[in-house]
Chain A
Amino acid sequence: MKVTFPHLGNAYIFIESLLQGFGHEPITPPQGTKRTLEWGSRHSPEETCLPFKTILGNMLEGVDLGANSVYMIGGWGPCRLGYYAEIQRIILQDLGKEIEFITLEVPQGNYHLAWQRLQKIVGSTEVKKLVQGCQLSWAKLKVLEDIEALALQVRPREKEAGSTSRCLQRQLQRLRQVDTIRSIQELKAQAEEELHDLVDTSSRTEVVRIGIVGEIYTVIEPFVNLQLEERLGYLGVEVVRTISLKHWIEEHIFKNALGLYSLRPLKRSASGYLRGFVGGHGLESVAHSVDLAQKDLAGIIHIFPLSCMPEIIAQGILPQVSEDKNIPILSLVVDEHAAETGFQTRLEAFVDLLQRRMRICP
């Protein structure tokens, strides 16, 4: 089957490899552009959040490129992500797109449907091939996130502006092509070396470290957060991520399936502020902010899409965390009308404030 799927940062490299392992032909939609958003917004209910619209845009572009099936994750609440897939399926169906829409979610009750979906995903691929495909794509995801994390450290310290992003893109495109675990490891070593070479070792300017918390899609997908990480890097900021896809899969899929997933560490961090799960990444936003405040960071940026219910709760609570832990927190809300210039001005002002703060009370 020709399968298309929504983007989530550079995760397409991992997803492509996984789909190939399962014997499908991945149709990767183009990186988000104005067109993605236009197509997505035109057919979405007006008030859904930005992720819904861009994801639908990705799907439409993928179908336009010839995909005959769409994969999307589902869920069972309370965050509305759980119902995205169903509404998107209906929208695509009403648009007359003849595609197979497969929602990936833990079955609740309807095991027959789940079995049908599984059969379609796996097809007639041999078990050995499936295992190999999973191993390869998992290795890619690991390396992908390692290189990205390193790039975040290198970017504020680079000699030539823009060299880190170029190097990262080149290495990622290579990672997309390789097909053995050994070559992935070689690529990783080489990429790390190249990135290290970009660092300006003579510079004495102090780098500000900022942690990013918020809703997972807006944190990871550069198209909706207006390249937040890159922008901060160019302002001389080292970005510290608190959310990663690999970690999310490990926790919410593997551990959850085995019944090992526990909210206890998060609840412990957030205690006194938020007592438990509020859906989406609301609890994580509060818990990670508390953790980051103890980690010698200059500030925290909290980013989420307009009308994201769990993050609004977090936004209401974070000022208290900021006051108690003496750490500046900037909440950024994005929607399809977010303007780059206004965004940049706010980031610059925030970074200025942090730099001044570091000089006054180092």
Chain B
Amino acid sequence: MVSPPTNKQILEWGLTTCVDGACLAIKSYVGHAQALVRQGTRLLFVPQIISVSKKEYTCPNFLGLPDLLKQYVPRSVELLSPTLDARKSKVALNCSYLGFGLQFASINTVRRAWKMAVEAQHAWEQSLHKHLPAEDLLQILVLGPRYLTDDPFLNGNLRGHLANLGAQVYSASQVPDDLSLELSKSMDKRLFWSGTRQSMGALEHFIHQLDGVINVAPFGCGAESLVGVLISRRAREHQIAMLDLTIDEHTSEVGMVTRLEAFCDLLERKKSG
């Protein structure tokens, strides 16, 4: 069972139960868990994702997610939460997936399932890496945690609005991870959060073709608050306009559309000289 796409009710459940300092993504996650519990789910898969790339972390919220969520679901609901940790190596990460599978099935079944999962993931990632045909549109890169940039409900349909305004939207997921790692090596200090490192890598990758960058950050995100400085600095060096969008549960779609329109107007004017 998978929870439905985020909607008003789900977010409402998250907002009323989750600790108030948490970021929008975590609150909506708690809401999704509530939705599943209300549908009668008794077993939730909530992995503790410490790291997905060598020497990097996801973010502190992910490290404590299963323990935090436990506070908000009834005791009768069991949490399945394997620890997934790639800090040492990718191999260790894969082993932790396989080890988790072995709790439920025989080695052959687990291997088959693993192979299918890897292929599906690979195919999906490949489909993202396809490059869009270059058109004479505004070229805008949208950065930020994917829980926000890819969730039209939480980001107020950001991509849809940008498309309506005649912009070609790029995202960090279009850049393969090894390329992003390579590109972010030029930084003075390596970033230790995978998400923000991918943002910087994507910015480097697209930097010569961009008109503007939009950095979407959830309110109260520690990583984004610092990386915003690096992104705006790099964008300034290449004279790319940058828009900082901080999103929380009070963000109104109308206000955001106004900002996006103003931003695109500015880019148009700049482009036409």
Contact = CB atoms under 8 A, between A and B. Distances in A.
Given A83-B192, A316-B19, A47 B220 contact: yes
Interface of B: 18-19, 21-22, 48, 55-61, 63-64, 66-68, 71, 83, 188-193, 217, 219-226, 228-230, 233, 246
Nearest to A307: B220
Given A109-B190, A312-B22, 6 more contacts: A47-B220, A78-B63, A103-B189, A275-B66, A308-B222, A309-B222
B192 A313 contact: no
Interface string A299-321: 00000001111101111110110
A46 B224 CA distance: 11
A276 interface: yes
Contacts of A83: 189, 191-192, 226
Contacts of B230: 87, 90
A312 B189 contact: no
Contacts of B63: 78, 276-279, 313
Contacts of A77: 56-57, 192-193
Interface of A: 45-49, 74, 76-80, 82-84, 86-87, 90-91, 94, 103, 108-109, 273-280, 282, 306-310, 312-317, 319-320, 333
Contacts of B48: 275
Contacts of A277: 63
B85 to A, nearest CB: 10
Nearest to A79: B60
Contact of A315 (B19, B56, B60, B189): B19
Given A80-B222, A83-B191, A91-B229, A309 B59 contact: yes
Nearest to B17: A316
A82 to B, nearest CB: 6
Contacts of A319: 71
A94 to B, nearest CB: 8
Contacts of B67: 273-275, 313, 317
A78 B64 contact: no
Contacts of A309: 59-61, 221-222
Contact of A78 (B59, B68, B224): B59
Contacts of A307: 21, 219-222, 225
A278 B62 CA distance: 8
Contact of B217 (A47, A109, A315, A320): A47
A78 B192 contact: yes
Nearest to A89: B188
A90 B233 contact: yes
Contacts of B224: 47
A215 to B, nearest CB: 12
A309 B225 CA distance: 12
